Structure 1
Amino acid sequence: MYLFPGKETIPFHLVWIGLSIVYGFIAWHPAGMAAVLIGVAATTGTILVHHAAAGEIGWEETTEVPLMMLVFGVMVWHVHVRQRVVARLAQLAEHERRQADTQQILVRLVSHELRTPITVARGYAELIRDGASGPGVAEDAAIVLDELDKLSRITYRLVTLMLMTAAAARQPADIDAELKRTLHRWVPTADRIWKVRSDVGVVGIVPERLEAALDCLLENAEKFTADGDRIEIVGTRRADGWTIEVLDSGAGMTPERAAALTAATGPLPSSTGTGLGLAIARAVVESWGGRVEVRGEPGVGSCVTLWFPPESPEVRSAEPDVLPARQLFKRSTDDGSMTNT
């Protein structure tokens, strides 16, 4: 800058650019940064003032020094803001990690600390019922057993709901076979007309989670139906993704109740349950980018629809490691009906 008067613009800006680059890579102490800034500004400013006094450049050229100091100050402010944001994000990430660890510990504690006492209490209640000397004691023991069964189911669902938030890799699976296998397990549980039909094919899922969601919906359907009613699972491939519907011809519900269940973001208790079943199904579906819709009509039945977006090309192109549905279930009828005989 000093040796080439009138051509100092390029080295002048290179000096300030270099200063900015070095500051971007090194976390300077404020005092050191101020000292370097003043030193660079004084050096370059002195040279520009000397050339201006000699008439080799105009005095307006000297205004670049305070302007560059201002630009550098704005950059310093921006870097500090970015560093605070990065530090905050790191704190949030650490907080989420600790929450996940705490949640896993809680799941293990709930699984052990609740299920074990329930099992022990159930064993003693069965002993009291079996050794009862009068009908009153046996009836009371039967009520205790029923309540313990309810508590056991609630505990299982709570643990399942907490596990739904943990990350899990999706893998290709034959949805048609999964739906038939799930319904097949429920056939002996109640005197219903069980049906299943599906044309979804292979998509990416976590089979255990989909099974847990379907189990919750089928349990609800069984609860609100009577002997001879129909419970059906329908899987459909659509242009905007794929769906699984759980339909029944039971008691149904009002449109207002169906709308409330569709819009709910968590468990919505009712007079017959805790609402955890639908919450588990919603957690599974939403973890894959889908949604849950509930429809119903009093005295006609209800329908819960699980909508899933299209699977990724990577998952779609992978080979399924499952058997065809017709090889898994020989007892299925041609129309997909199953009985519990």
Structure 2
Amino acid sequence: MDAEHRGGPDLYPWWLALALASTAGMWVQPGDETIPYHVGWAGFGLMYGLGRAWSPRRTAVALGLFTGVTGGILVARASAGVLAWQETAEIPLMLLLVALMVWHVRRRQLALAAATHLARRDAQRAHDHERLTRLTSHELRTPLTIARGYVELLRSTETRTERIVDLDVVDDELQRLSRVCERLVRVIQAQTEPELHRFDVDELLRQTGERWAIVSARRWVVQAGAGEVECSAERLRAVLDTLVENAVRYTREGDTVRIFGRRKDGCVELGVADSGPGMSARQMALLNRGTAPTEAVPDTLPRDALSQTGLGLGLVRTVVAARDGRLLARTAPEGGAEVAVHLPLDTAPAIETASQHALNGTLRRVMREATARPATG
């Protein structure tokens, strides 16, 4: 529905009635034409833009007829000596003033229509993203869960060693595919426009530790000292889940995984440290290399036997860059790797279009890799 057919009653017939009355008043009151003349134009200025918007054709007809008829009366009275010829200067001047008013009102109406369209499109896009997330979660997780259940059932009844080994391989590949599914859902969620509000980051850290402690047998430590931050809770949750997942992948049962948050030098620092094998100097240098918000996020870390699609750290970099933050890697006190994000406290989140494009590119890449090589997660 366009701007010409939206909103309120149609005042055009009312103005036509006022214009007719004003014209009649000018005709029957020689010498006093200026009063009904200006009343007619004032009525136009009042009614135009109120209620249902007038189409350009209606507006042109109204301006043309009223200017022509009332102007003709003024010229006739000036010719008869009733009015001075200077009074006829009102004809082009009033038309010019009203035309400028019409131009500004039309611009406002078109801007409102465009804003309404964008708002509806954004709402639809958010709805589509939410629906895609639910469908992706259901359509991928449910079959994988069922498949793993059957594998466990077969393994519990199998006595042949070689078959048990084969079933372990199948279960391992299904677990890898499940991790790809989790990361894919996280990227889809991160693509939505962030809902910014103040929330307790320390509570988010504790919740993250509790959720992962249920599924991974590690020694979990949570150090919460970040306080409240104005940010997107969903995006920070995705960042933390990605960092924790990497730590779990490179540690074994009984190893330490520490989730921490603190304030430091005008920033809030969130990260994950572990007691695993850690990173090489080259890996830390590549991870610490700055990535501008307008650049696509490359998968620069060298691959190893435990590497997955590279989607996770790409997502983290993009989210951090969108907030003008930094991603830092170093050796943890526990002996393994420590990866942290630094987010400025005094900088409003700048969610740029280019950063959204980077997320889109990351999503397309992981979908291609997951389709082509499902066994590599």
Calculate percent identity across the aligned residue pairs: 36
Deviations 1:132-161 (A, max 9, x none): 454333222212111101111221232244
Deviation at 1:279, TM superposition (A): 5.7
Q: Is the 8 A contact 2:297 2:314 kept in 1?
A: yes
The amino acid of 2:327's aligned partner reads: V
Deviation at 1:281, TM superposition (A): 5.0
Deviations 1:265-321 (A, max 9, x none): 7775563123443466568778xx845422236998453214163699xxxxxxxxx
Distance in 2 separating the partners of 1:310 and 1:240: 7
Give the match for residue 274 of structure 1: 309
Deviation at 1:234, TM superposition (A): 3.8
The amino acid of 1:251's aligned partner reads: M
Deviation at 1:60, TM superposition (A): 4.2
Give the match for residue 163 of structure 2: 137
Cα distance change of structure 1 residues 98 and 274 upon mapping to structure 2, 3 Å threshold:
same
Deviations 1:116-143 (A, max 9, x none): 2112221232344444454333222212
Are 1:16 and 2:52 counterparts?
no
Give the match for residue 315 of structure 1: none
Give the match for residue 214 of structure 1: 240
Unpaired stretches in structure 2, ≥5 consecutive residues: 1-25, 349-377
SS across alignment from 1:245 = strand
Give the match for residue 244 of structure 1: 270
Distance in 2 separating the partners of 1:238 and 1:85: 44
Unpaired stretches in structure 1, ≥5 consecutive residues: 313-341
Specify which of 42, 53, 63 is matched with residue 89 of structure 2: 63
Are 1:86 and 2:86 counterparts?
no
Cα distance change of structure 1 residues 125 and 265 upon mapping to structure 2, 3 Å threshold:
farther
Are 1:309 and 2:335 counterparts?
no
Are 1:255 and 2:288 counterparts?
no
Deviations 1:58-84 (A, max 9, x none): 534423312322333344344444434
Cα distance change of structure 1 residues 99 and 147 upon mapping to structure 2, 3 Å threshold:
same
Q: Is the 8 A contact 2:196 2:230 kept in 1?
A: no
Query: Following superposition of structure 1 onto structure 2, how do residues 191-230 of structure 1 map, counting pairs within 5 Å?
Result: 196-203=222-229, 210-224=236-250
Specify which of 111, 119, 130 is matched with residue 137 of structure 2: 111
Q: TM-score, normalised by structure 1?
A: 0.68
Instruction: For CA contacts below 8 A with separation 6 or more, give which structure has more relative contact order.
Output: 1
Are 1:151 and 2:177 counterparts?
yes
Cα distance change of structure 1 residues 304 and 266 upon mapping to structure 2, 3 Å threshold:
farther
User: How large is the RMSD of aligned CA atoms in angstroms?
Assistant: 4.3
Q: Is the 8 A contact 2:327 2:342 kept in 1?
A: no
Distance in 2 separating the partners of 1:105 and 1:178: 25
Deviations 1:196-236 (A, max 9, x none): 54433345678776555323212223434679987544422
Specify which of 147, 169, 173 is matched with residue 121 of structure 1: 147
Distance in 1 separating the partners of 2:202 and 2:56: 65
Deviation at 1:42, TM superposition (A): 2.9
Distance in 2 separating the partners of 1:120 and 1:177: 33
Q: Is the 8 A contact 1:216 1:277 kept in 2?
A: yes
SS across alignment from 1:274 = coil
Give the match for residue 339 of structure 1: none
Deviation at 1:28, TM superposition (A): 2.9
Distance in 1 separating the partners of 2:186 and 2:286: 28
Deviation at 1:39, TM superposition (A): 3.3
Are 1:100 and 2:126 counterparts?
yes
Q: TM-score, normalised by structure 2?
A: 0.62
Q: Is the 8 A contact 1:203 1:311 kept in 2?
A: no
Aligned length: 307
Deviations 1:233-275 (A, max 9, x none): 4422357453323345711524344336675877755631234
SS across alignment from 1:162 = helix
Cα distance change of structure 1 residues 264 and 292 upon mapping to structure 2, 3 Å threshold:
farther
The amino acid of 1:294's aligned partner reads: L
